[in-house]
Structure formats: C-alpha cells, structure tokens
Structure 1
Amino acid sequence: MEEACQVFTLGDPNAKQWRNIQGIGLHHPRLHAVCIKGVIYYLAIKEFGDSNSFLVSFDVSSEKFGTPEAPKTLIDQFYSSLINYQGKLGFMYWKNGMEIWVMEDDGRKKQEWSKIIFYDMRGFENGRIFAGVAHGGGIVFVNNLFIDSDTLLSVSYYDPNRNSFRCVEVEGTKAKDLVRIWVVPDHVEDTMRFFKEPIGCDSVHRKVVRCIYIPSDLLTVDILSKLPVKSLVRFQCVSKLWLSLNTDLIKTRSLTQPRLLVLFHHRPWLESPRLCSSTYSLNTNTRFISADKECRNTFTPELAFDFVSRYVRGLICCLSRLDEFSTIYNPTTRQSVVLPGIKYDTRGYSVDGFFGYDPVEDQYKVLCCNLGSFGKRSCQVFTLGSPKKRQGRNINSPENFGRDDDYRGPTSSVCINGIIYYIRYGYGNVILTFDVRFERFGHIQMPMSEKILNSTLVNYQGKLGCISYEYGSVSSEMCILEDHIEKQEWSKIGIFIPHHLLESLDYSTCIADATRNGEIVIMPKTYGPETLYAYFHDPKQNKTRKVELESTLNGALKYQPRYSIFSEPDHMENNMDLCRIQVQKKPATRLPFLKKQLLVIATMFRTKLMSLLDSLH
C-alpha cells in the first residue's frame, strides 16, 4: 500500500482545492489530534495492530511533516491524549491517577518534557473522558455516552491551581435517545461565511468570505481609552464591569502619560478663597506646554482660609492651620469632601498634617499632629471612606515631637510605598517616618554632615531623596536612601542648579518633586500677571531646561492679584468619587471669620520673625 497525502486550502481561489504533498511514509493516525501555533500534532502507528506509537507533527504553513521526540512511556499509553496546555504541547494519561506532561521548548532539536500535574483520580475516570483544557488551565471532563434522559448533562472541571473539582449541569440537555458527547472547552467564535455560486450548469464552487472579528470587550476598551477622564468617571455607573474597565484605563493612562499638576490658590482679603487647577503633559521636550483643560473655579465655600497642601496618588489634602476643618480635593473629578472637625489646642505652637496612601489595603489616611500649650502633644488619624474603622481617632505620638520654641511653618513631606517621610525642625538630624498601614512612627538617621534645615524631601524614582542647599553656595546635593529597612544607607548626587535661580524663587519651597525620569522640577510658589515657567533639572546630565506653561486663568480669575501655587510633577488621574464617601460628622464650630483673619496675620508675622532671627544668627 502506497502513502497518499493531500491538502485542501479553504477559501484560497488561487490554490488547487486538493493537491498532493510529500509525506513521511505509510502510517495510520490515531483519532485525536491537536493544533498549537500553526502545527498539528497527532499519534500514529506503522501498521494496524502495532502497539508501538510515535508522535507526528505537520506544519500548516510550510506543509511539512516531522517526528518530534517524546518519552516512550507517554506515547505507548493507550489512554493518553494530546492536549494544548496553555500554548504548549502536552500529554495527559491515566496511571493510578491523572498525569500531565508538557513539552517545554518545541524549538529544540531534542525536546524536553516535564511533569507538571499529578492528581489521584482512581474511580473517577470510569464513564468519563477528557474533553480538553480551558483558557485558564482548567481541565474539562465529560460523560462519554449520555443515556439517562432524566438527568442533565454534567461537565466536570478540575482546577490545578486550587487542586479542586467542581461539576456543572448544562441546562436543556436531557436526552431522549443515546447521545454521544463532543465538548470544546476553549471555543472561539468565528465569523467566516460560506456562499454557493453556480459555475456552468452542474458544478458548484464554494466561495469563502472572511470577516474581521473584533471582540466586543476589546472594542469597548478601545473606544473608552479615547475619552477624557471626566467622561470615564461619568460612565462608571453603567455597570460593575465598566467601573473596573474605567479604573484600569485611568491607571494605565497615568502610568504611560505622566502629567504636571498645578494648583492655583488665591486668598483675597475678606472674601472667600478661590482655587483652581490645571494639568500639563510631560511627554514632550518642547519649550512650551499647553494645558489639558481650562482652569476653572472649584470648591470655595468649604476651603479653609490658610491651609497646607499634601498630595498623594491624584488627591490633594488641604489641611487647615487655623481651625479644625480640612478638605480632600480630587482635581480629576473636581470633587471635594470636608473632613470632620479635629479637636486640638489652638493656643499651641504648631499644627501640621500629612497625607498618605496604603497600597496594601488601598486606603488613604490623613495624619494631624498638634504641639499644644505646656508641651501637650496629640496625633489623630482619619481614614478616608473606611466603614470598618472609626474615621477620626487618637494614636500615640512620637516621644520627641520637637522643641516648643522651634516651629517654622509647614514641613516638607513625601509618601513612598505606604510610608510618610517628613522633616520636623528641632528634632535633630533625622527624618521622621509614619507607617500608613500600621499607624506607627519611626525615624531615619541622616548623615551627620548634612543639614536638615532648608531641605526638601522628594520621591526620586521610588526612593526617598533629601535635597539640601545653603544660600550663597554654588551647588547643592541630594541624599538618596538606598535601603530603608535594614542598613539605612545613603548615597549622594551633586545638583548644579544655577544658585541665582534658586534664591530668586525661594529655594526652601520652590522644589516641587521629581519626575519619573529623575528630573527635579523647580517652580515658583506665587504667580501673577507674568508668564508661568517650570524648570526641569537632570542631575545625571547636569542640564536645566526652562519650559513655559500655558496659563488657563480666564475671565475674572485672570485679573486677580497674585496666586499661591502648589505643583506636583508626577500627577496621576484618580477616579475616586468623593461625593459617595460618607464622613462621620462631628459637632464643631468654625472660628469667626474676623478671628481667622487675625490668626493669619499673626502666623505670617511669626514666620517672618523666625526667618529674620535665623538670618541674624
């Protein structure tokens, strides 16, 4: 008997419908076959009645046969089956249970096989056959013959990751007669259509038309990815699926498209404060960056007159320094929520607060610290939107909170990987830490040669960076914390920013932060009618570039006096709906407006006086 191998190409009008190809010799294929990455695999024997099998491969593209090597113990097993196990050729057979072997690399000359699963299934295999492997790696079994008309078809599913079985009954499958079952567990829909066109009088040619199939979920994601964040937030209410899709899209966009956030705050005398924000794309090296959207008024009625801005993952915490109220603001959605009143000693020397994020529990927390009169210290934590924890609660404060006579205004802080780092003047040459998840304080020793005064903390490519500068010096330096947990080792990088630029912008407050590329961003703290600029310094290349930012203050906002500026160069969009956050309201009375004005004057006078005394020393 001679070998004859023929191939038919579906839907190719240029190729002959059936054509002979070169084979590998006479052989008899067994029934089961599997196609993986354009290669068909099947088992075959030389002659009928022969117990020795061998593995055959057929490349669909080149139309060539092959005989891959496989362990003889796998090939000769009568109950073995070829499977597609997550894109790899595998054998599954019964031997005191179920075993699965996988060919690790089909590109090698000598293929290697490894056993990945063994499960004791003795007694279970009776009456059931292997159907295939699902997309997630689950193994599907089904009854070989479906005879009983009073029961539904039962499909068994084994999860190798959890080592568990579950059975599913298929509705509408009661059989009247004997039925043979054929199950495809990883079915993919195809829109190929067939049409008949008569040629002449007798012959019929089948014409194949192939349509492009686009899954609806991929089409939805592609459309949503082109929408602005404001629309994505609005569409979150459609369904839970859309909520998950929009959240993932916003996070992905923030990771691939870094933005600079600029917050404008205007404090007119005896009027309500004004606040607005703009974002600028940083995926460019041009000298001018246009704003993403027009700057408009946001929340003003609940905004404190004098506050400190703290930024974490797309949210800004505006911590009041005059009364017990603070506000969380989302620049993406332009929503805000007022935190419950915090009781502290208003006669104290200092009130400071910090904002942190716990990536493990996905929680935002606000830390408020007060150094009251007679050395009384208190710390309170507020958990944003947590129904399980009491939102505002007292915690143990650090032993040495700082000297009573050495408060110099808001301190520099940054939150990295669930840890808040901040500087407390009068506490020595150390940086204080606060673990957001466990709500514990700690400290990190700075190099003794460094001066903590006039230092700025930044997130330098996922590590804590401390930038220090002395007025009149030619250069500054940045200490980078290489190891926080064990050795607390520091490294140094020289920063050669023009000193006249730093001193003209008030260096102690003009360092905004660092971009993901490692550029240090310098911005003024006030903005008036003049053009707004940002300076990007690359410490590795020792280069500083000046970029003009488009001003989006329009209408009445444009002609207001000087604004205070808060900027964040690594801004990520956040779709958190602050309107749905339930805040436990506490009875508290705001200070009279005139009293707040007097407190502002006293605070500003005290800060200027402390700076003057430092310069005299």
Structure 2
Amino acid sequence: MQGLSKTRTELPEMLVFDILAKLPAKSLIRFKCVCKHWNSSFQTPLFITQHHHNHLRNNNLNFIFKRSIGNSSSYCNLFELSTEDGQSFSLKQNIRLPLCNDRWRRPEVYGPCNGIFCVESRDNLALWNPSTSQFKILPRSSVQRPPADLTRFFRVGFGYDSQTYDYKVLRFVSNRSKNEYGAYSYETKQVDLYSLKGNSWKEISSPGVTAWGRAWFDNHVNGICYWPAYGSNSDGFCCILSFDMVNERFSTLSLPEFHGGFVLYEPLLLNINGLLGAIIFSRSWEDTMVEIWVMSGSWTKLSVIECAFGIGIPLGFWKNGELFFESRDRELVLFDPSTRELKNLGIHARSMYNGTMEIISYAESLVTFN
C-alpha cells in the first residue's frame, strides 16, 4: 500500500490579496509581520484604495458620537457608537486623542476623507486615522500675516488631490484691526493651504464670499470641498463655495431652490453616495419639514421628510437610510422615512440646555501619514 502523498495548493497571489483587502484594518496590522512582502503590499496606494472601497461598498461603516457641553471652554467626549443586534445602540470606548489638554478642548472633526480626519482645536491642527490610531500634528502655518489686532482661524476644508496623491488642509483666516474707537472695523481675509506631501503651508487667493458650515458633515466629494456661503450684504446663505483640491481654485454654485428661503432654513452639505447632497431643515423646532437634495448636473429633490414635533436637527444617515436627529430634549433619535418610525436611542447630551451632539461615520482606512 502506497503512502498517501500530501499536496500543497497555493492560491494565486491576486486572489490572496483580494481576500485580504476585505479584512478589518486591525487584522491587517497584525498580518504585517507575516512577511516583508505583505507588509510592503499593505502600504501601496492600490491596496489601500481597494481595502477602503470594499468597506464602503459593503456598507461596513463605523460611527463616532461626539458629546460636549455648550460653552467655549468646555470639554467634549468622543465615543464609538455601535449596535450589536441592529436594535439597541450603545456608546463604547471613550476615544482619547493625543495632546488632550487645555489646547485640545472641544476639537472639531472634519471629514472623513478616505477614512481619515482633520482635527482642529483653536489654532492647532492634526490628521487622525481612527482605524490605525495614527495621529500627526501639523506644523504651524508659515504664511505671513498683515498687521492686525486679532487673528482668528475659522472654517477648515480637508480633502484629497488624486493627481498628486496628496492630502490637503484648507483654513480660512481673518485678520481684524481696531478703529479709533476701539471697535474691530477692518478685516483682511486670507486662506492657508497645507500639503501633507510637502509638509508645508502656502497662501492662496481668498474668495469673495464667506464660507460657513457645520464641521461634522463630510463636505468633501470627489476631490472638492463645499461650504454654504454668505455674500457681503446677505441676510442668509447666498450660494455654495467650492474648492478643488487638484487645481487649488475656488468657485461657486447655486443652492437648491428651496421654497422657505435661507434666512429661516439651514442647508447642511454632505456626501450622498458619491454626489454632493444637501439636507435642508428649519432653525425653528416647530417646523418639522426636512428636504434632501442631490447635485447631479443640477439639483434634484430626493425626498421630503415630515418628522415628529420637536425633532429638528439632522445628524446624518445610519446604514439602512435611516436618519439620526437631535431632539428638542437633546436626545439622540433615529427616524425611518419608509415606515415613519421614530426610535429614541437612550443617548443624550450632557446638558439639557447647552449640550450638543454630533454623529460622524467613516469606512476603515489603511492610509498612513509617512
């Protein structure tokens, strides 16, 4: 009787990496020690892009819940928002960013862009990949400022230049000077642009409108950042300001033709399935109408949602099209437009009167800042 011979079957390398690209980032970080080839392959732009797109395509999203107290000197907390059975939600693992001291109170989190974020606190900026826990503090801007009594940083844009494979951070700067009566009446505006590839800042031309927008929505779509904008003499939003990360130029486009006007209503811009989207809601708790628009050559109204009374501030989408809202009682609720079911998730801001909450969603990424 002949002995049984053992055969070894090897999978094609392309198939192996197709399988690996579907795994969580934590598993791939451990697998880097398998061999040098795997370690180097996991860091190539092709594999990083494939891994990120797989998680986006399969709707494998992670959610961060930000909770803070309302005054400017208060602290905020970041948590992982998760659900075990698709029904009950919970906050897990308080996320602590490096340098969480007095300078990093109430960080604003911009993005995600390819699974990574830009974090701002006062005049400090950093890049953060929550999937790998990598954190890079950006250098101070070297742009020269005109003489001013007060320099203020406001509004940030964070995006990706696909032609040079470079992540860029845009920041608007206001330089204010006092008049003879001691009031701030003179203002010079600047725009600083940071390149991760060069690890440096430069100044670019400032647009003629003022960008505005809530930080927690992903306003980066296909290499372009968007903000609702004010004109010089506008009582409300007048247009959308955009910045192209490739050609580094500003432009403007129109807002959706909303019947209520943008004095009483507020547009929130976000990425909806790879297109520029807008959620329009009332600043009044009594108005329960929410409209969702998408830009594809021109603005198209996707849906009109009539919410329950006291549910007015949209916070983003859950995995199956449901919408997170902040209620009048500062509770986190989930609204299903198809069934009109409203679910209180039992999560609330720290304070009934001045607490705020935000929801940030992202797909895992292997992007590094080296």
Given the two structures, how large is their TM-score scaled by the length of structure 1?
A: 0.46
- Deviation of 1:369 (Å): 0.7
Alignment match, 2:305: 495
- Deviation of 1:341 (Å): 1.6
SS in 2 for 1:241: helix
Work out the number of aligned pairs and report it: 336
The whole-number CA distance in structure 1 between the counterparts of 2:20 and 2:151 is 51
> Is contact 1:495-1:542 (8 Å) kept?
no
Alignment match, 1:546: 343
Indicate which of 424, 427, 432 corresponds to 2:241: 432
Alignment match, 1:392: 201
Structure 2: which 5+ residue stretches go unaligned?
Answer: 177-185
Alignment match, 1:299: 98
> Is contact 2:66-2:78 (8 Å) kept?
yes
Indicate which of 252, 256, 267 corresponds to 2:54: 252
Alignment match, 2:139: 340
The whole-number CA distance in structure 1 between the counterparts of 2:272 and 2:367 is 26
Alignment match, 1:233: 29
Alignment match, 1:418: 223
Which structure: greater strand fraction?
2
1:501/1:230 Cα in 2 relative to 1: closer, same or farther (>3 Å)? same
Alignment match, 1:464: 276
> Is contact 2:290-2:304 (8 Å) kept?
yes
Indicate which of 577, 586, 604 corresponds to 2:368: 577
Counterpart mapping for 1:31-70 below 5 A? none
**Letter in structure 2 aligned against 1:366:** V
- Deviation of 1:332 (Å): 1.3
- Which has the larger Rg? 1
- Deviation of 1:336 (Å): 1.5
Counterpart mapping for 1:191-590 below 5 A? 213-215=9-11, 217=13, 228-236=24-32, 238-245=35-42, 247=48, 248-249=50-51, 251-264=53-66, 275-280=77-82, 286-289=86-89, 294-301=93-100, 304-312=104-112, 313-320=114-121, 322-323=122-123, 325-342=124-141, 347=150, 351-373=154-176, 374-384=186-196, 386-387=197-198, 391-401=200-210, 414-426=219-231, 428-450=237-259, 451-452=261-262, 453-470=265-282, 471=284, 472-483=286-297, 488-491=298-301, 493-502=303-312, 507=313, 511-514=314-317, 518-523=321-326, 533-538=332-337, 541=338, 543-546=340-343, 548=345, 565-569=357-361, 571-578=362-369, 581=370
Given the two structures, how large is their TM-score scaled by the length of structure 2?
A: 0.73
> Is contact 2:51-2:365 (8 Å) kept?
no
> Is contact 1:521-1:537 (8 Å) kept?
no
- Deviation of 1:331 (Å): 1.4
Offset from partner CA, 1:349-373 (integer Å, 9 cap, x none): 7622121223444322111012332
The whole-number CA distance in structure 1 between the counterparts of 2:288 and 2:67 is 32
1:337/1:209 Cα in 2 relative to 1: closer, same or farther (>3 Å)? closer
Moved over 6 A (4+): 267-272, 407-413, 524-527
The whole-number CA distance in structure 2 between the counterparts of 1:217 and 1:550 is 46
The whole-number CA distance in structure 2 between the counterparts of 1:424 and 1:270 is 23
- Deviation of 1:457 (Å): 1.4
Offset from partner CA, 1:545-585 (integer Å, 9 cap, x none): 5274899xxxxxx9xxx97543223x11112234xx3xxxx
> Is contact 2:325-2:332 (8 Å) kept?
no
> Is contact 1:411-1:423 (8 Å) kept?
no
- Deviation of 1:256 (Å): 1.5
- Deviation of 1:382 (Å): 0.9
**Letter in structure 1 aligned against 2:310:** H
Identity %: 20
> Is contact 1:327-1:337 (8 Å) kept?
yes
- Deviation of 1:493 (Å): 2.3
The whole-number CA distance in structure 1 between the counterparts of 2:37 and 2:194 is 28
